[in-house]
Amino acid sequence: MTTQVKKICCLGAGYVGGPTCAVIAYKCHDIDVTIVDLNESRIAAWNSDHLPIYEPGLDKIVFERRGKNLFFTTQVEQSVLEADLIFVSVNTPTKKSGLGAGFAADLAYVESATRQIADVAKSSKIVVEKSTVPCRTAESMRTILEANSNENIRFDILSNPEFLAEGTAINDLLNPDRVLIGGLQTPEGMKAQQALVEVYAHWVPTDRIITTNLWSSELSKLAANALLAQRISSINALSAICEATGADIDEVAYACGRDTRIGPKFLKASVGFGGSCFQKDILNLVYLSEQLNLPEVAAYWKQVVDLNEYQKKRFVSHVIKTLFNTITNKKIAIFGFAFKKDTGDTRESAAITLCKDFIQENAKVRIYDPKVTTEQIFLDLSEPGVVDNTKQLKNRVTIAKSAYEASEDADAIVIATEWDEFKELDYQKIYDQMHKPAFIFDGRLILDAEKLRNIGFRVHTIGRAEA
């Protein structure tokens, strides 16, 4: 008989734990879901009218279930004690120091969450690895948990990586392409796997719920991100060829994407991919390959990240060169700071690299983003622990409340994030208030270059030769 899950606890109330478990509560009224975090202010925000993350559709779901079968708390022990299934959805950042620094995932948070479960549990639990982790991490978790089990308590480990993308998280969770659940292929492991299948089966068609062994599941998460990022680096590499030849990257992407074997998605050239996952997970895969003594494989995946860095630097150089080889004291309006539209998340955003490079060249940078806070922007641009550059930053960086304010007296506009509102602006009004010649660098291919040229702008678009 299958174990029926009645109480779920999720360790980690971040971009993944919050939305994922809120959707489970929304779709499974027969299950109590408690999301736990050590961070008190984050939990207070989840319990307030202003949720700690911006994600279209999230508010409605949280407000509808909160206090009914969805709870946010810092009471780790109580929640673990009561749960039959525990998601571990804590952060796994790239290690900053020690062995594997700069590549390997820092598993300290996963380990400490696992130890917390082992210390507190007084009954059997299904422990689900939701965080993105290197292949075979579940083995370490199992060793820790088994060392703490006895004849009355057993722990079953599952891997259930999350594939949601920020900005579309709720839709991705409500209508996933697939849900992946890895488990040990033993009778107990398969029983635990089935218990989680039944949770998702409340709303996901069962043919979209894939069950595999633990290691395939762990590796599939890293592999999916590597393949997606590799498509972006490929199209960005081609964008450089387009600029040098007169081919147009959107036309090339369209022509290639019409081949059903290639497909049209994830072929949008850009100023470089950002986000908390792609770079981290690929570096993690690079490290894993090196550990497995597969240097050629490691070098292959590393190139995806190197090309992304190149794309950002190439864009910055192009801006400087076009602005007559100097941007000292020139005003550059940055449209967008988030790593993609429809999110306030700035982790690894390409805009950070661009702004830092412009500041380094003594430009004056004025940033507008509809969802990113001023505090976050200054945090991202400062170098805490290296040098205190706050004063220098305040001289060089200002935050605007609108795209119009950002572009007042500017020499150039840089489109760093593809927010829809940037397509709808009154560019004649913007042109009239800028220094001339007025430049626009479209790092996201969202603007109608011809229309802007007719107004008088000098337009430079990624992946297109200059007109």
Ligand X SMILES: O=c1ccn([C@@H]2O[C@H](COP(=O)(O)OP(=O)(O)O[C@H]3O[C@H](CO)[C@@H](O)[C@H](O)[C@H]3O)[C@@H](O)[C@H]2O)c(=O)[nH]1
φ, ψ of residue 459 to 5 degrees: the values are -110, 130
Smallest distance, ligand NAD to C-beta of residue 164, A: 5
d(CA 400, CA 146): 54
Please report whether residue 339 would count as binding ligand X according to CB under 6 A: yes
Please report whether residue 166 would count as binding ligand X according to CB under 6 A: yes
Segment near ligand X (CB under 6 A), from 57-65, 120-128, 272-280, 426-434? 272-280
The H-assigned helical ranges of 367-448 are 374-381, 390-396, 403-407, 427-432
φ, ψ of residue 232 to 5 degrees: the values are -70, -45
Please report whether residue 416 would count as binding ligand X according to CB under 6 A: no
- Pick out residues in 6-35 that bind ligand X (CB under 6 A): none
- Which distant-in-sequence residues (6+ apart) come within 8 Å of 386 by Cβ? none
The 231-270 contact track toward ligand X, x by CB under 6 A, reads -x---------------------------------xxx-x
Side-chain-side CA neighbours of 431 within 13 Å: the count stands at: 15
Q: How far is CA 207 from CA 175, 177, 252, in A?
A: 13, 10, 35
Name the nearest CA neighbour of 322 among 432, 438, 420. Answer: 438
Name the nearest CA neighbour of 24 among 174, 206, 190, 184. Answer: 174
Q: Pick from 34, 69, 89, 270 the residue near ligand NAD by CB under 6 A.
A: 89
Q: Return the H-helix or E-strand segment holding 156.
A: strand 155-159
Ligand-binding site membership of 347 (annotated): yes
Q: State which residue, 169 or 447, has the beta carbon closest to ligand NAD.
A: 169
Please report whether residue 310 would count as binding ligand X according to CB under 6 A: no
Q: State which residue, 137 or 239, has the beta carbon closest to ligand NAD.
A: 137
Handedness of CA 287, 288, 291, 293 (dihedral sign): negative
Please report whether residue 176 would count as binding ligand NAD according to CB under 6 A: no
- Pick out residues in 99-128 that bind ligand NAD (CB under 6 A): 109, 112-113, 116
The CA radius of gyration of the chain, in Å to the nearest whole number, is 24
Q: Pick from 276, 289, 407, 461 the residue near ligand NAD by CB under 6 A.
A: 276
Please report whether residue 83 would count as binding ligand NAD according to CB under 6 A: no
Segment near ligand X (CB under 6 A), from 164-172, 207-215, 362-370, 393-401? 164-172
Please report whether residue 336 would count as binding ligand X according to CB under 6 A: no
Please report whether residue 51 would count as binding ligand NAD according to CB under 6 A: no
| Interface with ligand X (CB under 6 A) | 132, 162-166, 225, 228, 232, 266-268, 270, 273-275, 277-278, 339-340
